[in-house]
Copies of this chain bind each other. A is one copy, B any other.
């Protein structure tokens, strides 16, 4: 079993009420790969420019991530610049320079084409389709997207979703994609397209998954300070997929634990800028916070009054 992750490799400049970083390691594929690497073997496909510092590729390798599919090409690395105000749920994009990512159209190597599990991070759905066309017999495909593609390429995006098993999407995007104010209706509509699971990310409000066995709601971890929300969704998806691959099935119990593992890694990730917090993590930290998530949402059987009715 192996997990292939395809998506952006970026250098981010981010300002939040807690500080600033310039040209820091980022990108959906980077966050997701690092998050997944706590659980399983990961191979990444992406593109960076000649300006991409070798310490970043060294870091990814140090996490055991196979970076043979990370192409370093002539030109500048994709750059994103954004600001978060006190409402840390909302990113304000200041500048996007696609640079070498504008021409990203990967040709997967033989091993990557045979990947059993694939996560297509947010990118042009035509490129997602191009990647899907190269996969030989994937057991499980997950994808992510964003409002830009829902607006701009809805038909291509629908084809991507129809060829995926799991969709990661945030709450505003789910409402937009299904043209409804009801998140529950949106989840059902998306699940009805044949997805094994729809996973809706709600930022500080946790997440909501709909799979064949019904809804599952996970809270967010109660953090007093979110220093930098960048990469929260990608580290969630990476943790989710990494756990699922390590389990080797996508039964409802594994899917639910995967949501929690995604939540755990994402909650650590937002404690510091860029991937700084993930660099300090080990599996014991993840296991410890997994237990805290259980404590956060567990309740006992009700007292006699309701229990009688339950008999």
Contact = CB atoms under 8 A, between A and B. Distances in A.
Interface string A185-199: 101100000000000
Contact of A206 (B217, B260, B283, B306): B217
Interface of A: 39, 86-88, 181-185, 187-188, 202, 204-206, 208, 214-220, 222-225, 243, 246-247, 253-254, 256-257, 259-261, 283-284, 286-288, 290-291, 294-303, 305-307, 309-310
Contacts of A259: 299
B86 A181 contact: yes
B261 A224 contact: no
Task: Determine how many copies of this chain the complex contains.
Answer: 2
B222 A215 contact: yes
A258 to B, nearest CB: 9
Nearest to A305: B246
Contacts of A202: 205
B184 A260 contact: no
Nearest to A251: B300
A184 B299 contact: no
B287 A185 contact: no
B253 A300 contact: yes
